[in-house]
Structure 1
Amino acid sequence: MFEKSTDAAMARTGLVLTAVAVVQFMVSLDLSVVNVGLPQIATGLGFGALGLTWVIHAYALTFGGLLLLGGKAADRYGRRRVLLLGLVVFGLASLAGGFAQVPGQLVAARAAQGIGAATLAPAALSLLTATFPTGKQRIRAFGVWSAMNAAGGAFGVLAGGLLTQYAGWRWVMFVSVPMAAVALALAWRGVPTDSTTARAGRPDVLGAVLATAGMTLLVYGVVRTDRYPWSSATTLLTLLIAVALLAAFIAVEKTTRREPLIRLGLFANRSVSGANAFNLLVGAAMASAFYFTSLYLQRVLGIGPAETGLMFLPFALGVVVGAVLAVKLGYRLPARTLLAGGALLTAAGFAWFGLITADGSYLTNILGPSIVASVGFGLCLGPVVATATAGVDPRETGMASGLLNSTRQLGASLGLAAVGTAAHDRSGQSVTPQALSDGYALGFTLCAALLVAAALIAFAVVRRTNPAVQVERDLVPLRD
């Protein structure tokens, strides 16, 4: 009888891990699948140089801005219910994006995808945290999660290239529809109905609106500096309003009678605050680097979309290798050592990328730095998730998971806005290979600087204690 119950429990946790892995693969894929198709999307729908970045911003901002609300909804209304709802929204938005006829329609569809992802991603990560609360199983589960995260991002670039060249750019949107359907079926069957919290307060929708609006205006103000200088009244007013909205968000979180999106006391936990600051900078660097690599290969070296996608495969494999190494080293090295080491290794790869030239080649300018940067990035993925949720009350795992995902996406959007604008300024109005290469090289160098800063944060803020050990220690009074 005991063996049967044990086998049933193992099968149930296996189904949960599979469902979460598929969901994370899909969300991660959608972050990168459009990158290779950007030049064709610009031509097909008439996007301008900086306007094209909103295909990425629209997804990242709604995803990042609403993740906290999604995490709170998962805590309150049940992870399974919120996960299923998010998958439906995500699938429908992907379908709408594939049929877009003008830039605004595609941007709106990408924003709707972000809303769906913000609903399902924290629910999935919270489910993983609750199912594997401690020990070696937790490290192994987060290793699988990080590997699927990495594989989805890398396969997204490959699939985006193949689909763009042989089926048309619209399929970079359509591809998510069957994936959402499969994930929905897996979650419906494999994820058990969970209990909801007994708290009377409702999630703070106003806070979510203020946070998203503030971040959107902040990015908009930075991106528009190509037309309105930093000292212009237009830019200063836009940034001032953005700061005011974000300040209002913090005030609302402190005073709301509803359930706040984020309990500000969480930041007193050094693991939480350090991991999220680290994640913000890593998100900024990685999103910008993917963007520049795709454009450099196609616009400077003249490589087609399909071949460009294939050229990202070494990066994909490197991330998986790094993620596997992180699992093996998880019990031997402190998390902050893995975080800092991974960030510095990735920074070295991006600094190497910064040496690109207009007459370069894939073998001399892309392959080597791709391997170095990808292994470093893979080392960071699992440890940053485990660190950000270590010692968090189980009733707040959705909140903590949403916060971590949010900082990654907001970092991606802010980083691409700032670094992309700097690269555009370096290139100027010229579209010659030399001018574009100079701009992209500057962008890669700035990405390396962001990762050096992330490594410093890991050493200065994150505690030395191994996350797995710390979690077991923190959960002892909860089990008693």
Structure 2
Amino acid sequence: MRRSPWATLVVLALAQFMVVLDVTIVNVALPEMQVDLGFGPDDLQWVISAYTLAFGGFLLLGGRLGDLLGRRAVFGSGLVLFTAASLAGGLATSQWFLIAARGVQGFGGALMSAAALSILTVTYAAGRERNIALGIWGGLAGLGGTLGVVAGGVLVDAAGWEWVFFVNVPIGVALLALTPSTVADSRVQTTGPRSFDVGGSALGTGAVLAIIYGVIRSEPLGWGSGEVIGSLVAGAVLLVAFVVVESRSAAPLVPLRLFRSRSLSRSTLVLALNGGAFLAMFFLSAIFLQQGKGLSALETGLQFLPMGVAAIAGAMLASQLLPLLGTRPIQVVSALLAVGGLLLLTQASADGSYATELLPGFVLYGAGIMGVGVPAQISALSDVGHADAGAASGIINTGYQVGGALGLAVISSLATAATTSSLADGAAPIDALVEGYQRGLLLTAALGAAVLVLAAMSRQLRPTAEDVAELAVAA
């Protein structure tokens, strides 16, 4: 069957749009979920973390499965899981059922996203055609993140928080119906063993889950609690086991030799810190705007919109300036913008003006975070050979997702501790909430400051326009 490559692009881009949309659309629904399902302040962040952890933890495995089992089959399987988990999430009547559904959503999203990028790579010839396809694919993904907060607000206010999940179901069903006729199957031809390194994926994801659980439980139980210590020790043991398994595997999920590249290691850390800062800022601000300032879900989404527009503009400007100025100055200036935006947000109060206390911080942060991310992706792949480009791209994407989940866990736990302490000292609930928000944003700014230091230490590269178009979007 002869398939139109542009019909293929529509299906794959819409799938990626849906995956990215689900990262941000849920944020504005968190306060209603908290009330309806009885989430405590410490548990609520699992609605975000379960998704990002599963997505990051299985992204590399998804790419490997697609290469060996067939990319269309893995893409379709991920789409089925994502759609079914979306339906289950909307029907959830308990917090742990919802968290489990979010985890399955993340797993499905990882399979879908990894396979989709591989399909795009083999469908379009290297050069202008592939760059256009990757640009549209990445652009729709970025648009999904921006529109998610507004769409979430509309759905929550009009129909309830359940619809931030139900909205995926008709889209997923339509894409499933279109996939056989629009997406050609492909796989890597190999005569060797078809190894998937499921053990490595399970160990890596389990290690991060155990560490995050220990961090979250430290707030109500204290760092000396047996449960907290046991969870952190288990995470450390699993992490060591993961390194051992990967070092001995014939087909490792994460080729450890790639970390000999300083550029890849440093850029992965930058993107992990960037992910932690972004998810923490988004989570804390969504709670603050609705519970501290009394805004509706739609009003909250609209207040985030300028940040999304600034992020798109920042990414476009960084891409244009990289061939002229190089990676280091773009990254340093962008990190300064991001830290400045976060510091401005720490000054927000419950009765303050949006135009003076929040809008400038949102705009600066949105422009800055993308200006950091684009050159970091370019730098990460600068020392990596063509044969390892896919594995390196998977590493930095995984670093961003896992770093986001870890950063969110640490910062939200410490922000909750600040709110609890303030309440214990006799502060009014709103004042205590603002205290926790400001403390959390100050810690988020500290992550941004670490990014700034790493950016100043990075190599200066001056990529060509074609390098920026192909590498930044593909990463």
TM-score by length of 1: 0.88
Show the 5 A alignment for 1:242-391: 242-257=235-250, 259-390=251-382
The 1:40/1:469 distance shift into structure 2, 3 A limit, reads closer
Cα separation, 1, equivalents of 2:343 and 2:390:
36
2:324 is paired with a residue whose SS is: coil
The 1:421/1:412 distance shift into structure 2, 3 A limit, reads same
State the Cα distance separating 1:385 from its structure 2 match. 3.8
Aligned position for 2:433:
436
Residue of structure 2 aligned with 1:152, choices 99, 124, 144? 144
Cα separation, 2, equivalents of 1:104 and 1:134:
45
The 1:282/1:99 distance shift into structure 2, 3 A limit, reads same
One-letter amino acid of the structure 1 residue matched with residue 171 of structure 2: M
State the Cα distance separating 1:466 from its structure 2 match. 1.8
Aligned position for 2:202:
209
Residue of structure 2 aligned with 1:200, choices 193, 199, 206? 193
Aligned position for 1:223:
216
Aligned position for 1:3:
none
The 1:327/1:141 distance shift into structure 2, 3 A limit, reads farther
Show the 5 A alignment for 1:36-55: 36-55=28-47
State the Cα distance separating 1:88 from its structure 2 match. 1.4
CA-based RMSD: 2.7
Superposed CA offset, 1:431-456 (max 9, x none): 71111111111211221221221233
Cα separation, 2, equivalents of 1:232 and 1:397:
43
2:254 is paired with a residue whose SS is: coil
The 1:462/1:44 distance shift into structure 2, 3 A limit, reads farther
Say if 2:445 is the partner of 1:451.
no
Superposed CA offset, 1:2-54 (max 9, x none): xxxxxx99x73x44544443232211111111111111001111111111111
Cα separation, 2, equivalents of 1:158 and 1:109:
23
Cα separation, 1, equivalents of 2:87 and 2:67:
29
The 1:459/1:84 distance shift into structure 2, 3 A limit, reads farther
The 1:59/1:384 distance shift into structure 2, 3 A limit, reads same
State the Cα distance separating 1:229 from its structure 2 match. 1.6
State the Cα distance separating 1:395 from its structure 2 match. 5.0
1:195 is paired with a residue whose SS is: coil
State the Cα distance separating 1:462 from its structure 2 match. 4.5
Aligned position for 1:25:
17
State the Cα distance separating 1:292 from its structure 2 match. 1.0
Cα separation, 2, equivalents of 1:132 and 1:336:
31
Cα separation, 1, equivalents of 2:27 and 2:86:
15
The 1:78/1:266 distance shift into structure 2, 3 A limit, reads farther
Contact kept? 1:80, 1:194, Cα under 8 Å? yes
Cα separation, 2, equivalents of 1:231 and 1:202:
41
The 1:469/1:160 distance shift into structure 2, 3 A limit, reads closer
Cα separation, 1, equivalents of 2:19 and 2:389:
19
Cα separation, 1, equivalents of 2:121 and 2:373:
15
Superposed CA offset, 1:94-120 (max 9, x none): 011111111121111001001101211
The 1:21/1:454 distance shift into structure 2, 3 A limit, reads farther
Between 124-133 and 56-65, the greater mean CA deviation after superposition: 124-133
The 1:152/1:427 distance shift into structure 2, 3 A limit, reads same
Aligned position for 1:477:
none
Show the 5 A alignment for 1:80-119: 80-119=72-111
Aligned residues: 464
State the Cα distance separating 1:80 from its structure 2 match. 2.9
State the Cα distance separating 1:387 from its structure 2 match. 4.1
Gaps of 5+ in 2: none
TM-score by length of 2: 0.89
Between 278-287 and 68-77, the greater mean CA deviation after superposition: 68-77
Cα separation, 2, equivalents of 1:139 and 1:454:
29
Cα separation, 2, equivalents of 1:234 and 1:403:
31
Superposed CA offset, 1:243-268 (max 9, x none): 110110010001134x2111111222
Superposed CA offset, 1:41-68 (max 9, x none): 0111111111111111211221121222
One-letter amino acid of the structure 2 residue matched with residue 424 of structure 1: T
Aligned position for 2:51:
59
Aligned position for 1:5:
none
Cα separation, 2, equivalents of 1:134 and 1:271:
24
State the Cα distance separating 1:468 from its structure 2 match. 5.8
One-letter amino acid of the structure 1 residue matched with residue 16 of structure 2: Q
Cα separation, 1, equivalents of 2:310 and 2:467:
29
Gaps of 5+ in 1: 1-7, 475-480
Cα separation, 2, equivalents of 1:78 and 1:394:
22
Contact kept? 2:319, 2:468, Cα under 8 Å? no
Between 81-90 and 135-144, the greater mean CA deviation after superposition: 135-144
State the Cα distance separating 1:319 from its structure 2 match. 1.4
Contact kept? 1:140, 1:327, Cα under 8 Å? no
The 1:449/1:432 distance shift into structure 2, 3 A limit, reads same
